Amino acid sequence: MSASGNGVSANELLAVMGSRELKDNSTVFAGVGAPMLASGLAQRMHAPLLTMVIEGGIVGPRWKPGSLPISTNEMRAAYRAQMLPGITEAFLLAQRGFLDVGFIGGAQIDRHGNLNTTAIGGSYDRPKVRLPGSGGANDIISLCRSVIILTVHEKRRFSDALDFVTSPGWLTGGDARRKSGLLFGGVGRVVTTLGVFGFDAESRHMRLEALHTGVTVDEVKANTGFEVLVSDALTKPPTDEELGILRALDPARQFL
């Protein structure tokens, strides 16, 4: 990725751009990897009053730098937590409306922000490739007020048609999401290694909001399996302060 040319890794870029989407005095449902780094960075930069909720049934952890979790259900994820209510309870906080933002990733994404982490090719019963499954991704995208998808931008991921909708974004666009029964939320942003994307308010079609430094619109088009609405705006590159905080959180670069 050209954005990585200045020594910034893909996950550092995702974490920095993801963190900037988070507001102070809010809550975020965050998983391991780039989402937790984005949340930890936001808390240290501009959102000290941001609370993390973790899939393992964990509220308000204060993760130990250098000892970041590899699973949302392990002691490192619960380090110095304020509350351990249980898994079902954590998701019910989101169903009640307590979670402002949810972070998720996915193997495949389409123009409406739908995600597939279940099966590629064949049928559900006899897939060509069986992926791990939803985990909490479906719940996060169904129940949080707004979802930010963090992903590496590759053509094989940005797919024209999904074989399976594990996690519903805007479904077929327009008001399809509401009509399906999902009265709340939706995908607000897709943060990739090439740029930051939003969705057209009417069609709910993915739209480039800003490119990362060094990335061209042609590069985005070449790496996207569907037509994407474009823009020439640029994101502000990760700052030394942001990168310094991330690298202090994960000095062994386990996730960076």
Partner 1 sequence: MTIARREYDFQAARKRLEDKAKSAGEKLTTIEEAVARVKNGDHVALGGCLFSRTPLALVRALLRRRPTGLSLSRNLMCYEGEWCMVAGAVDKIVTSWMGIGLPWGLSKIQREYVESGRVPMEEWSHLALGLRYRAAAMGVPFLPSLTMMGSSLVDVGGSKIIDCPYTGEKLLAVPALFPDVALLHVHRADRLGNCQIDGYPHMDADIARAAATVLVTAEEIVSEEEIRLRPDRTVIPGFAVDALVHVPFASYPHECYGLYDAEPDHFSTYVDGINRHGAAGVQAYLDRYVYGPATHGEYLALFGEDTLTEARRRGIELVS
Q: Which residues bind partner 1 (CB under 8 A)?
A: 32-33, 55-58, 67, 70-71, 73-76, 78-79, 84-88, 91-92, 95, 118, 122, 124-139, 142-143, 164-168, 171, 176-177, 180-184
Dist. CA 16–CA 192, nearest whole Å: 11
Nearer to partner 1, 131 or 152 (CB): 131
10-19 helix and 34-45 helix, angle to the nearest 10 degrees: 50
Nearer to partner 1, 57 or 188 (CB): 57
**For residue 16, what are its two tokens?**
């920095």
Minimum CB distance to partner 1, residue 153 (Å): 19
Nearer to partner 1, 182 or 230 (CB): 182
CA angle 11/197/141 to nearest 5° reads 80
Catalytic residue among 12, 55, 209, 219: 55
Minimum CB distance to partner 1, residue 189 (Å): 20
Nearer to partner 1, 39 or 138 (CB): 138
Minimum CB distance to partner 1, residue 53 (Å): 13
Known active-site residue 55: yes
| Torsion sign, CA atoms 229, 232, 233, 238 | positive
Residue (of 16, 29, 73, 11) closest to 255 by Cα position: 11
CA 102 → CA 136, 179, 211, 248, distances in Å? Answer: 10, 21, 22, 24
Dist. CA 170–CA 180, nearest whole Å: 10
Indicate the helix (H) or strand (E) that contains 90: helix 87-96
Q: What single DSSP character describes residue 5?
A: G
Minimum CB distance to partner 1, residue 137 (Å): 8
Minimum CB distance to partner 1, residue 180 (Å): 3
Nearer to partner 1, 75 or 248 (CB): 75
User: Which residues participate in catalysis according to the annotation?
Assistant: 55
